[in-house]
Structure formats: C-alpha cells, structure tokens
Amino acid sequence: MAEIGFAMISNKGRALLIRANTPWKYRFHLYREAFKTATDLDGLVVVSVNVKRATNYQHMFGQNP
C-alpha cells in the first residue's frame, strides 16, 4: 500500500512540473518543491473513515492546515 502511495505522489509531482511547462534545465531544481506540493495536496483529499467524510488531515489532526 505504501509503495502505491509513493508512486502516486511522485506521478503527481511530475504532472505538476509538466503542466507548468517547466523547461528541462529547471525541472531538476524544482522537483523537490513539486513533490512537497503534491504531498501537501494529497493530504487534502476527502476520504471516508468509519462513515465520517473528511480530509486526511482532519482525520489525523482534527482540522485542516
């Protein structure tokens, strides 16, 4: 399950860089920020846990960042 999550976040990070039309020479400098943003956005996905619908952050910490 964790391996799938890592693959999804890395794909989202690459998609952010591609969609932003980032030139190749800058992508290697910006990938860290793109993957951090993808990780932050992944925590804002709404999921159901025990019939309660909320974001991953809300389930974990009680409120969104």
Residues ≥6 apart with Cβ < 8 Å to 22: 30
pLDDT for 16 equals 93
Tell me the pLDDT of the chain (65 aa) as tens digits: 778 889 999 999 999 999 999 999 998 899 999 999 999 888 888 888 888 899 888 888 888 87
Residue ranges of domains in the chain: 2-61
CA torsion, points 11, 12, 14, 18, in degrees to nearest 10?
130
Q: What is the pLDDT of residue 17?
A: 92
In the prediction, which pLDDT does 1 show?
73
Torsion of CA 4, 7, 11, 14, to 10 degrees: 160
Tell me the two tokens of residue 7. 């693959």
Residue 47 · residue 59 · CB < 8 Å: yes
